[in-house]
Amino acid sequence: MLTMIINMMISSAIPVIMMTISIFISKKMISDREKSSPFECGFNPKTHSRLPFSIQFFMISMMFLIFDVEIVLIMPLIPIMKMSSIKYWWMSTSIFITILLLGIYYEWNQGMLKWAT
């Protein structure tokens, strides 16, 4: 028990120490307007370097990423079915699929699946 507590303290302290060291040794300074603007041979830029971003595209890509990860979580269910009781497998699989369906229904209800409004 004491070993587990020590391991937890060490594994919590190492990231904090690393972040603190990186803050002190980083060369990032406060950026000014000239450094953040694009360089075009001394002339003023003709267009903005940061184009507007479509939030709908971002939401669709995040949903794709989330459901892609969930598909990866579903893949091991077939081999697990052979090793476990069918009752517990069916219950856990149906709960997982129900949570996925509730999530897609919520996204559809909130209008996140509409590309243009």
User: In the chain, how many domains are there?
Assistant: 1
Residue 66 lies in a domain: yes
Beta carbons within 8 Å of 100's beta carbon, 6+ residues apart: 67, 70
E strand residue ranges, the chain: none
- List Cα–Cα distances, 85 to 3, 40, 42, 72, 76, in angstroms: 35, 67, 72, 22, 15
Amino acid symbol at 116? A
> pLDDT, tens digit, for every residue of 20-66?
988 888 766 555 566 666 665 666 666 666 667 777 788 788 888 88
Rounded to two decimals, the pTM is 0.49
Residue 5 lies in a domain: no
Question: How is residue 38 written in tokens?
Answer: 């694009």
- Domain of 103? 53-109
Residue 78 lies in a domain: yes
Rounded Cα distance, 16 and 58, in Å: 31
Cβ-based neighbour number of residue 104 at 10 Å? 14
Residue 40 lies in a domain: no
